[in-house]
C-alpha cells in the first residue's frame, strides 16, 4: 500500500509511505527557497512520487490531507470541482470582469504544471489537523501500548491544544481547546512578535534568549495571555484578540494587536527577562496539564507533536518529570506543521494495516546528489576542486585547525534541524566559535546558541540525565566534567541540544566526528544548519556553492569533492 501525505499551508510539505516505511518527506520551501512556504507543495509531491517509483499520482492508493477542508488550489491541482465564492463573483461580475465564461474565482493550473488530476476521487481523504499531529507522534513510537498524545501549536482546524489516547491502531480524542481558550502557542508567539521577530518563525529566538534573563524580574506580567490549569482542569482562559495574517512572498506571517503591549513590556523590563518569563509560563502551562492528565488516567506513557514541541527546553523539563509522572516521553522529531504530511500518510496507512510499533530512527528523507552530477556542476562553474575517497579525514583536520567547513552529503534532512547531511561544522573547543559562526556565517544575533553532534557511544562524556537523542529535539544538562572544554556548544543555562550520531545511520558523519575526536580528544562538533538567517536549509549543490561563497565558510565538502577559498587549505 502506498499513501501520499500532503500538507498545504504554513510549511507546506509532502511525504510518501509504502508498506509502513516513510520513503520521502520534504518541505516545499527547499525547492522554491521561500522559508515556511505556504504554496501548494507541487515540487515536494513530484519528488515523493519519484522516490516511490511512480509515474503518475493515480498510482497511489490514498492521498491523505492535513485539513478538514480542501483549499481551492489543492482542488484545482487534483481536478476537483471548486465551490463558488458568491461575494467575490458578484463583485467581479459587477465590474465587467467575467473571465472566459468561468466564474472569476476558478483556479486552473498552467499547462506546464505536473498533471496531478485524480481519476478516483474516493482516494482523497480529509483529516483533522491536530489528529495528523497526533498520528505523527503515535505512529513513530517503538510500541503500540496505551499512551496519551499531546498536540499543541498556534491553531489548526480551530484547535490549539488537544489530548488524545492512542492504543493499538486507534487514536481517540479526549479533550480539545481552541486558541482563544487555551492559546499556549499563540501566547508564546505574541511575545515573539513583541520582541520584534516573526510570529511562526522566531520562537526559537525567544527560547534562545530566555536563559539570559530572570523571570523573577517580571513575573506575572504575561499571565493574561496564557491559560492557567489546575492539574488537567482549565481554570483561566487566554486573553487576547483576533489573529490576523499577512502573506509575504508565499509565506504566512501572523499578527496579534497584543504584540504592541508586549513591546511596551520589553521596553520596561528588558528583552531577556520577558523572554525568560514567556518560557517559564509556557513550561508551567504544559507541564501542569500533561502531569494532570497522567495522574487522572494513570497512563504514564506519552507522545507529543505540534510546533510548540520544537521547544527543546520544554521537552527537557517534561523528560525530567519521569520520576513522578512520565514513564515514556516521545516527541515526533519534526513536530511542527512541516511534519503533518508524514502524520497524514501514516494515519491513513494504519487505518488499513496493523500497527505494532515502528521507531523512527532518522530523518534523511529528502533529495540526494551523485558525485558525477556534483563534478559536472563544479566544472561548469570553472571552480578548482579536489577529490578524496575519505573526505572526512581532511575535514576533521581542518576542524582541528579551527576552520569552518560545510558538509553536504547523502539525503537532505526533513524538518528544521540539520543532522549532518546539510550542516555547517566547526570545533566546539574554542569559546569564540559561537560568535564567529553567528557573525560571519549565519549573520544572526550573537546570543543564538549552537547544537553539538556527538558520537552515540560517547554521550556519557558530555551529557547528564539523558535519554537517546538522535534529532536535537530535547536539551540536556551538560556533564560537569567536560562542559568547560566544549564552550561553543554549551548554552548559557548549562545545557546542550545534542544529536547523537550512530555509525549505522550516518556512516560519513560519524567518521568525521570520530576522526576529529582522534585528533582533538573531543568526539563532538558544533553543528548548525547549512543556510544563512532567513533562508531555508540548502537542498542542492548549486545552493551549497552559492551559500559557501556568500558566507565565511572556509571549505565546502560535496560528497567526495572539496572546494576552498584558500588553496593552502586543500589536501596535499
243-270: average pLDDT? 92
Going by C-alpha positions, the residue among 430, 432, 486 that lies closest to residue 454 is 486
332-338: average pLDDT? 98
Q: What is the pLDDT of residues 55-84, one digit of tens each?
A: 999 999 999 999 999 999 999 999 998 876
Residue 96 has pLDDT above 60, yes or no: no
260 — phi, psi (to 5°)? -65, -35
Q: Output the pLDDT for position 253.
A: 85
The CATH class for the domain spanning 141-331 reads: alpha beta
Sequence-distant (6+) residues with CB within 8 A of 298 are: none
Whole-number Cα distances in Å, 403 to 215, 287, 406, 526, 555: 38, 41, 10, 12, 8
Q: Is 15 helix (H, G, I), strand (E, B) or coil?
A: strand
127: cell is: 483529516
Q: Output the pLDDT for position 247.
A: 84
Kind and range of the H or E run holding 271 = helix 271-297
534, 541 contact by CB (below 8 A)? no
10 Å CB burial of residue 214 (0-12, 13-18, 19+) is middle
202-208: list long-range contacts, CB under 8 Å, 24+ apart: 203/307, 203/310, 203/311, 204/310, 205/445, 205/448, 206/275, 206/278, 206/279, 207/275, 207/279, 207/311, 207/312, 207/313, 208/447, 208/448, 208/449, 208/491
313-330: average pLDDT? 90
Banded pLDDT at 90 (limits 50, 70, 90): very low
Q: Output the pLDDT for position 75.
A: 95
Q: Residue 288 CB: number of other CB atoms within 10 A?
A: 17
Going by C-alpha positions, the residue among 454, 515, 514 that lies closest to residue 483 is 454
Kind and range of the H or E run holding 350 = helix 340-352
Whole-angstrom distance, CA of residue 50 vs CA of residue 54: 6
10 Å CB burial of residue 157 (0-12, 13-18, 19+) is middle
Whole-angstrom distance, CA of residue 135 vs CA of residue 130: 9
315-329: average pLDDT? 89
Which region among 134-138, 312-316, 322-326, 389-393 has the lowest average model confidence (pLDDT)? 322-326
Sequence-distant (6+) residues with CB within 8 A of 16 are: 2, 3, 4, 5, 22, 23, 24, 25, 48, 49, 51, 52, 60, 345
The conformation of residue 102, written as its DSSP 8-state character, comes to B
Residue 487 has pLDDT above 60, yes or no: yes
DSSP 114-153: -----S-GGGEEE--HHHHHHHHHHTTSS--S-EEEEEEE
Indicate the pairing of strand 170-177 with strand 159-167. antiparallel
Q: Output the pLDDT for position 85.
A: 53
Same CATH fold assignment for domains 2-130 and 141-331:
yes
Banded pLDDT at 105 (limits 50, 70, 90): low
451, 428 contact by CB (below 8 A)? no
Whole-angstrom distance, CA of residue 454 vs CA of residue 3: 35
115-143: average pLDDT? 97
DSSP 395-406: HHHHHHTT--EE
DSSP 305-338: ESGGGG-HHHHHHHHGGGGTT-SEEEE-SS-SGG
DSSP 513-524: HHHHHHHHS--E
Kind and range of the H or E run holding 78 = helix 72-78
Whole-angstrom distance, CA of residue 206 vs CA of residue 188: 9
Going by C-alpha positions, the residue among 418, 436, 398 that lies closest to residue 516 is 398
490: cell is: 554549551
Question: What residues form DSSP beta bridges with 62?
Answer: 3
Banded pLDDT at 325 (limits 50, 70, 90): confident
Please state which of the four CATH numbers 3.40.50, 1.20.1300, 3.30.200, 3.30.420 is assigned to the domain occupying 2-130. 3.30.420
Q: What is the pLDDT of residues 497-539, one digit of tens each?
A: 999 999 999 999 999 999 999 999 999 999 999 999 999 999 9
Please state which of the four CATH numbers 3.40.50.720, 1.10.10.60, 3.90.870.20, 3.90.650.10 is assigned to the domain occupying 371-569. 3.90.870.20
Banded pLDDT at 98 (limits 50, 70, 90): very low
Higher per-residue confidence, 11 vs 243: 11
Whole-angstrom distance, CA of residue 39 vs CA of residue 188: 25
Q: Output the pLDDT for position 84.
A: 61
Residue 249 has pLDDT above 90, yes or no: no
Q: What is the pTM of this model?
A: 0.95
Tell me which residue has cell 467575467. Answer: 98
Q: Is 391 helix (H, G, I), strand (E, B) or coil?
A: helix
Q: Output the pLDDT for position 88.
A: 44
Q: Output the pLDDT for position 516.
A: 98
Tell me which residue has cell 513530484. Answer: 46
Whole-angstrom distance, CA of residue 479 vs CA of residue 472: 17
Q: What is the pLDDT of residues 440-481, one digit of tens each?
A: 999 999 999 999 999 999 999 999 999 999 999 999 999 999
- Average pLDDT of the chain to the nearest whole number: 94
398: cell is: 581542518
- Structural domain spans, the chain: 2-130, 141-331, 371-569
Amino acid at each position: 500500500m502506498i499513501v501520499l501525505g500532503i500538507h498545504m499551508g504554513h510549511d507546506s510539505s509532502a511525504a510518501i509511505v509504502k508498506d509502513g516505511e516513510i520513503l520521502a518527506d520534504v518541505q516545499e520551501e527547499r525547492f522554491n527557497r521561500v522559508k515556511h512556504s505556504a504554496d501548494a507543495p507541487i515540487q515536494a509531491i513530484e519528488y515523493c512520487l519519484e522516490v516511490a517509483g511512480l509515474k503518475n499520482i493515480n498510482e497511489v492508493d490514498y492521498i491523505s490531507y492535513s485539513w478538514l477542508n480542501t483549499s481551492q488550489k489543492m482542488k484545482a491541482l487534483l481536478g476537483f470541482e471548486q465551490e463558488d465564492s458568491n461575494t467575490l463573483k458578484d463583485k467581479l461580475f459587477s465590474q465587467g470582469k467575467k473571465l472566459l465564461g468561468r466564474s472569476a474565482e476558478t483556479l486552473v493550473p498552467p499547462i506546464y504544471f505536473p498533471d496531478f488530476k485524480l481519476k478516483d476521487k474516493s482516494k482523497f481523504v480529509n483529516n483533522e489537523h491536530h489528529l495528523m499531529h497526533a498520528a505523527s507522534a503515535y505512529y513513530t513510537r517503538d510500541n503500540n501500548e496505551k499512551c496519551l498524545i499531546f498536540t499543541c501549536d498556534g491553531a489548526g482546524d480551530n484547535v490549539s491544544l488537544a489530548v488524545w489516547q492512542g492504543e493499538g491502531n486507534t487514536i481517540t480524542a479526549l479533550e480539545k481547546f481552541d486558541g482563544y481558550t487555551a492559546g499556549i502557542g499563540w501566547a508564546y508567539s505574541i511575545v515573539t512578535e513583541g520582541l520584534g521577530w516573526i510570529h511562526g518563525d522566531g520562537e526559537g529566538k525567544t527560547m534562545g534568549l530566555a536563559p539570559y534573563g530572570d523571570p523573577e524580574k517580571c513575573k506575572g506580567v504575561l499571565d493574561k495571555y496564557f491559560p492557567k490549569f489546575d492539574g488537567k482542569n482549565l481554570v483561566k482562559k487566554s486573553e487576547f484578540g483576533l489573529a490576523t495574517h499577512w502573506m509575504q512572498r508565499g509565506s504566512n506571517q501572523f499578527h496579534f494587536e497584543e504584540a504592541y503591549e508586549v513591546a511596551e513590556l520589553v521596553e520596561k523590563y528588558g528583552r531577556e527577562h520577558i523572554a525568560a518569563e514567556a518560557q517559564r509560563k509556557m513550561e508551567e502551562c504544559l507541564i501542569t496539564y500533561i502531569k494532570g492528565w497522567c495522574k487522572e488516567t494513570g497512563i504514564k506513557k506519552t507522545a507529543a507533536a505540534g510546533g510548540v514541541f520544537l521547544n527543546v527546553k520544554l521537552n527537557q523539563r517534561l523528560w525530567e518529570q519521569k520520576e513522578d509522572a512520565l514513564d515514556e516521553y516521545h516527541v515526533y522529531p519534526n513536530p511542527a506543521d512541516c511534519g503533518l504530511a508524514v502524520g497524514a500518510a501514516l494515519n491513513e496507512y494504519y487505518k488499513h494495516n496493523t500497527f505494532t510499533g515502528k521507531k523512527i530512527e532518522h530523518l534523511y528523507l529528502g533529495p540526494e546528489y551523485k558525485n558525477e552530477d556534483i563534478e559536472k556542476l563544479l566544472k561548469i562553474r570553472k571552480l578548482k576542486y579536489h577529490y578524496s575517497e575519505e573526505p572526512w579525514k581532511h575535514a576533521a583536520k581542518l576542524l582541528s585547525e579551527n576552520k569552518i567547513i560545510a558538509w553536504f552529503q547523502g539525503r537532505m534532512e526533513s524538518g528544521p534541524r540539520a543532522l549532518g547531511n546539510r550542516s555547517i561544522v566547526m570545533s566546539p573547543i574554542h569559546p569564540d566559535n559561537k560568535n564567529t559562526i553567528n557573525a560571519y556565517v549565519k549573520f544572526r544575533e550573537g546570543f543564538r546558541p549552537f547544537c553539538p553532534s556527538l558520537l552515540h557511544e560517547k554521550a556519557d562524556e558530555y551529557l547528564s540525565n539523558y535519554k537517546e537523542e538522535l534529532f536535537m529535539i530535547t536539551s540536556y544538562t551538560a556533564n560537569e566534567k567536560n562542559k568547560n572544554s566544549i564552550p561553543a556548544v554549551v548554552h548559557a543555562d548549562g545545557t546542550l541540544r545534542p544529536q547523537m550520531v550512530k555509525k549505522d545511520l550516518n556512516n560519513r558523519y560519524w567518521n568525521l566526528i570520530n576522526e576529529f575526536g582522534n585528533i582533538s580528544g573531543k568526539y563532538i562538533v558544533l553543528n548548525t544548519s547549512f543556510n544563512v538567517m532567513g533562508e531555508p536549509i540548502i537542498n542542492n549543490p548549486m545552493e551549497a556553492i552559492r551559500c559557501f561563497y556568500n558566507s565565511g565558510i572556509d571549505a565546502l565538502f560535496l560528497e567526495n569533492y572539496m572546494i576552498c577559498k584558500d588553496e593552502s587549505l586543500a589536501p596535499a
